[in-house]
Amino acid sequence: MRIAIKDILAQVQKTKDLLNNVASDEANLEAKIEKRKLELERNRKRLQTLQSVRPAFMDEYEKIEEELQKQYDIYLEKFRNLAYLEQQLEDHHRLEQERFEEAENTLRLMQNKLKEEEKRLLKSGSNDDSDIDIQEDDESDSELEERRLSKPRTAMEVLMQGRPTKRIVGTMQGGDSDDDEDSEDSEIDMEDDEEDDDDLEDESISLSPAKSSRRVRKPEPLDESDNDF
Tell me, letter by letter, the H, E, C secondary structure of the chain.
CHHHHHHHHHHHHHHHHHHHHHHHHHHHHHHHHHHHHHHHHHHHHHHHHHHHCCCCCHHHHHHHHHHHHHHHHHHHHHHHHHHHHHHHHHHHHHHHHHHHHHHHHHHHHHHHHHHHHHHHHHHHHHHHHHHHHHHHHHHHHHHHHHHHHHHHHHHHHHHHHHHHHHHHHHHCCCCCCHHHHHHHHHHHHHHHHHHHHHHCCCCHHHHHHHHHHHHHHCCHHHHHHHHHC
Higher pLDDT, 61 or 136: 61
Domain boundaries, the chain: 83-125, 140-166+184-228
Higher pLDDT, 9 or 63: 63
The confidence band for 34, taking pLDDT boundaries of 50, 70 and 90, is very high
Identify which of 159, 179, 165, 174 has the alpha carbon closest to the alpha carbon of residue 226. Answer: 174
Percent of the chain with pLDDT over 70: 55
Is 192 in contact with 159 (CB distance < 8 Å)? Answer: yes
Mean pLDDT check: name the lowest of 14-28, 96-110, 163-177. 163-177
Does residue 36 carry a pLDDT above 70?
Answer: yes
Overall average pLDDT of the 67-87 stretch: 96
* pLDDT at residue 223, rounded to an integer: 47
Q: Rounded to an integer, what distance in angstroms lies between the CA atom of residue 163 and that of residue 133?
A: 44
Does residue 137 carry a pLDDT above 70?
Answer: no
Higher pLDDT, 109 or 4: 109
Which range scores top for mean pLDDT: 72-76, 204-208, 209-213?
72-76
Q: How many residues can be counted in the chain?
A: 229
The confidence band for 21, taking pLDDT boundaries of 50, 70 and 90, is confident
Quote the pTM value: 0.31
Q: Rounded to an integer, what distance in angstroms lies between the CA atom of residue 229 and that of residue 212?
A: 28
Is 147 in contact with 207 (CB distance < 8 Å)? Answer: no
Overall average pLDDT of the 114-133 stretch: 79
Name the packing angle between helices 220-228 and 178-199 (round to 10°).
150
The confidence band for 107, taking pLDDT boundaries of 50, 70 and 90, is very high
Does residue 140 carry a pLDDT above 90?
Answer: no
The confidence band for 148, taking pLDDT boundaries of 50, 70 and 90, is low
